[in-house]
Copies of this chain bind each other. A is one copy, B any other.
Amino acid sequence: MSQIYFTPGPAQLYPSFDKHLQNFVSQQLGSISHRSAQYRSLHQYTVEQVRALLNVPESHQILFLGSASEAWERIVFSCVAMESFHLVNGSFSTKFADYSHALNKYAHKLEKPMGEGFSASEIVVPEYAELIAVTHNETSSGVQMPVEEIHRLKAKHPDRFMAVDMVSSAPYPALDYAMIENAFFSVQKAFGLPAGLGVWIVSEKCLEKAQEIKKTYSIGAHNDLPTLWKNALNHETPATPNVMGIYLLGQIAAEMNAIGVDTIRQQTEQKAAILYDFIEKTPGFSAFVKEKPFQSQTVVVADTERPSSEVIKALKTKGMVVGSGYGKFKEQQIRIANFPATSLEQVEQLTAGLAGI
C-alpha cells in the first residue's frame, strides 16, 4: 500500500520527483564526468535556481556537501579559530556545539529545555565568540526561531559570524543574506528528495576568515572552504559529488521558482495553521510548543495522550505516516512534517485520519 509520508525527513518525495529521475536516467547523467562542460552546466543551473529561490546575493557561494551535518564541521573549521556560541534547545543544536568541541574549539552554550525558543533580547553573546549558531527550525522539538529574531540578533552583533541551521525549513525562512554569513540545509526535508546531499550557503567573509585561520590552525582537509570555493567558481566540486542529487535539486528549485517562493511560504503557513488548529482543538492532542511565535511552520510536534506508537500504527492503516517523538519524547509525541511536497488536501486528509483514531 502506497503511503503519504508526513515524516520530518526523509519525507514525502516531491510530486514531480519520478519525472525528473526518469530524465536523469534517460540522459545518462549518472555516467557523465564531473569535470565535463555538461556537468558544469548542470551544476550552474542548480546553483542559479537555488540562488533565485532563496534570494542569495553574489557575495555568497552555494556549495554542495554530503549532508547538512557535514556543514556543521566545515563552518566551525572555516569561521572559528577559538570560540563559538550556540543557542541550544534540542538535539540538533546540541550536536552543532558538540562538533565545535570535537574540533578543539571552546563551544559556549545558552541552553533551554526542548520545546522552548529564543528571542534576540534575552541573548548575551560571550565576548570572544566568533560565531553565533542558531537553529531556525529544531527538527527534534518543532521549535522555530523567527527570522526577525535572527536578524535582530545579528544587528546587535554585526562583528560576529552567523550560522543558521535551516535543515528542515528551507526554503521557508526568508533570510536576509546581507546579514547571514552561513546557512545550510539538506534535500531530504522540504525539497522532497532522497537523502545524500547537503547545501551550504556561505559568504566570502567566511572564505577570508578561513584563509586567516589556516595560518595557525587546521581548517580540515576534505571539502575545506577555500578548495570548495575555488571549485565552485568553475561550477565544480573538489571530489566527485552526488550528481543525481544536484540535478534533482535544480529541477525542484526551478519548479518552486515557477510557483513563486512567496506562494510556497504562504501555503506552508496555511497548512501549518490547519495542523495547529487541529491539535489544539482535538481531544488527545496538544501542541508541544506553547508559545505561538516559536511554533515551527514546517515540523509540527504534538503531544499525544495515548502512546504515540499506537497513533502512528493506526494512521498507517489509513495510508499515512507521521514521525515519532525525538529521543526521550519518542512515545509521547508525534512529529508532522509540513513540507511543500504535501498538499493542502493531503494535510486535510491527515487531520481527518487523526481525528478518527
In the complex, what distance in Å separates the CA atom of A72 from the CA atom of B67? 17
Q: Interface 1/0s, chain A 23-43, versus B by CB < 8 A?
A: 001001011111000000000
Contact present for B195 and A34 (CB under 8 Å): yes
A-B contact pairs, 21 of them (CB 8 A): A3-B28, A7-B31, A9-B240, A10-B31, A10-B32, A12-B31, A18-B25, A30-B188, A30-B193, A33-B323, A65-B66, A66-B67, A69-B238, A69-B239, A73-B220, A103-B218, A104-B217, A195-B242, A196-B240, A196-B242, A196-B245
- A9 to B30, alpha carbons, bound, how many Å? 10
Q: Which residues 234-255 in A have Cβ within 8 Å of B in the complex?
A: 238-245
Q: Is A121 an interface residue (CB 8 A)?
A: no
| Contact status B30-A10, CB under 8 Å | yes
Shortest distance between the CB of A25 and any CB in chain B (Å): 6
Q: How many residues of A contact B (CB 8 A)?
A: 59
Contact flag A221-B103 (CB < 8 Å), given A21-B25, A69-B238: yes
Beyond contacts A30-B188, A102-B224, A104-B218: 7 other A-B pairs, Cβ-Cβ < 8 A, are A30-B194, A68-B239, A70-B223, A102-B220, A103-B221, A194-B244, A196-B242
Per the bound structure, the CA–CA distance linking A265 and B1 in Å amounts to 41
Instruction: Give Cα A69 to B67, complex, Å.
Output: 15
Report chain B residues within 8 Å CB of A195: 30, 34, 240-244
